[in-house]
């Protein structure tokens, strides 16, 4: 099966480039299922029902969140009706769920949203202990295809998760920093990237208008961040293929710009036991 993962969707420019391109790229690359991170999709903070419906009709199958999952309060009832999840290590009393299971090409697939512990500004449980328990439960139930969206600030947390779970899960996709990293690889059958990178405006700061970040850095006074009405936009997407045992066998990163330019980069395939790259 081929899975596509889209990183942080930031505002209207991101929704538009997804709407204009995703369905055709699904056909071109024979993608079976698309996962995306929604937490910045509505005006840069959270997700509204209207924008959720727009994204689901544009070719996305399900969505995960992060530290801005609850910024738009109308998302609360949507968790029960739509394929949406929030970080699994939020307190159990928080709205929503942290894991979503579905069937793709006759295989049961689990998608888990996990949030990092450091510098995230949210009250969450230790992500490493939580994810160990959840993966063990899935394996006990015979689930071999497991995909994790690790929404975290620090690269060390994401790399630690890779080497902790590489033999147990199919893919670990990093989100949150909005800055794509050039380290897409398959390690012992687990597809990994530290950060997919934002989808949205790229000629500013983290997909937001530049005035407020500059003012905050130079004066110490912050204001509300806004997504610009006009900008140069990009759609960043990881595409990986899983075999019947849930192991990743190929990966690529696709960058689509609003001027029609596309860049395709293949990920490395690394067997750490033999210390060989393919």
CATH number at residue 44: 3.60.21.10
Q: What's the rounded mean pLDDT across residues 73-86?
A: 96
Alpha-carbon gap, residue 35 to 16, rounded angstroms = 17
Cα separations in angstroms, 166 against 1, 247, 277: 19, 10, 16
Hey, which residues does 257 pair with through a beta bridge?
234
Q: What is the pLDDT of residue 274?
A: 67
Q: What's the rounded mean pLDDT across residues 227-233?
A: 93
Give residues with Cβ within 8 angstroms of 239, minimum separation 6.
Answer: 2, 3, 4, 5, 29, 31, 251, 252, 253, 254
For 88-140, the pLDDT digits (tens) are 999 999 999 999 999 999 999 999 999 999 988 888 999 999 999 999 999 99
Tally of domains in the chain? 1
Q: What's the rounded mean pLDDT across residues 177-204?
A: 97
The answer for 151, left when phi > 0, alpha when psi is -120 to 50, beta otherwise, is: beta
DSSP 141-157: TT--EEEEEEE-S-HHH
Is the pLDDT confidence value at 229 over 90? Answer: no
Q: What is the pLDDT of residue 70?
A: 97
Q: Percentage of the chain surpassing pLDDT 90?
A: 90
pTM equals 0.96
For 125-181, the pLDDT digits (tens) are 999 999 999 999 999 999 999 999 999 999 999 999 999 999 999 999 999 999 999
With cut-offs at 50, 70 and 90, classify the pLDDT of residue 275. low
Q: What's the rounded mean pLDDT across residues 41-67?
A: 98
Task: Say if residue 82 is exposed, middle or buried (CB neighbours under 10 Å; 0-12, 13-18, 19+).
Answer: middle
Element (H, E) at 25: helix 11-28
Q: Is 161 helix (H, G, I), strand (E, B) or coil?
A: helix
With cut-offs at 50, 70 and 90, classify the pLDDT of residue 223. confident
Q: Can you give the residue range of the structural domain that contains 25?
A: 2-277
Strands 200-201 and 262-266: unpaired
Q: Is 193 helix (H, G, I), strand (E, B) or coil?
A: strand
Alpha-carbon gap, residue 234 to 199, rounded angstroms = 6
Measured from the Cβ of residue 37, the count of other Cβ atoms closer than 10 Å reads 27
Task: List residues with catalytic annotation.
Answer: 68
Q: What is the pLDDT of residue 185?
A: 98
């Amino acid at each position: 099966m081929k899975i596509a993962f889209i990183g942080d969707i930031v505002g209207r420019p991101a929704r538009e480039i997804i709407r204009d391109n995703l369905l055709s790229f699904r056909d071109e690359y024979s993608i079976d299922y698309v996962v995306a991170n929604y937490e910045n999709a509505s005006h840069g903070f959270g997700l509204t029902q209207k924008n959720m419906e727009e994204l689901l009709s544009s070719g996305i199958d399900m969505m995960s969140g992060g530290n801005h999952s609850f910024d738009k309060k109308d998302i609360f009832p949507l968790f029960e009706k739509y394929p949406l999840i929030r970080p699994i290590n939020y307190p159990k009393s928080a709205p929503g769920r942290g894991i979503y299971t579905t069937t793709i090409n006759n295989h049961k697939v689990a998608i888990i949203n996990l949030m990092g512990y450091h510098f995230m500004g949210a009250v969450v449980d230790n992500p490493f202990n939580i994810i160990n328990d959840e993966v063990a439960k899935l394996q006990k139930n015979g689930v071999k295809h497991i995909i994790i969206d690790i929404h975290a600030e620090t690269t060390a947390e994401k790399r630690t998760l890779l080497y902790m779970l590489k033999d147990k899960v199919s893919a670990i996709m990093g989100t949150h920093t909005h800055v794509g990293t050039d380290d897409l690889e398959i390690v012992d059958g687990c597809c990994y990237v530290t950060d997919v990178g934002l989808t949205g405006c790229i000629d500013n700061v983290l997909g937001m208008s530049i005035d407020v970040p500059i003012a905050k850095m130079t004066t110490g006074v912050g204001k509300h961040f806004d997504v610009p009405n006009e900008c140069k936009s990009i759609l960043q997407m990881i595409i990986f293929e899983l075999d019947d045992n849930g192991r990743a066998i190929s990966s690529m990163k696709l960058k689509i710009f609003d001027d029609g330019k596309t860049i395709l980069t293949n990920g490395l395939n690394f067997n750490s036991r033999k210390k060989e790259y393919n």
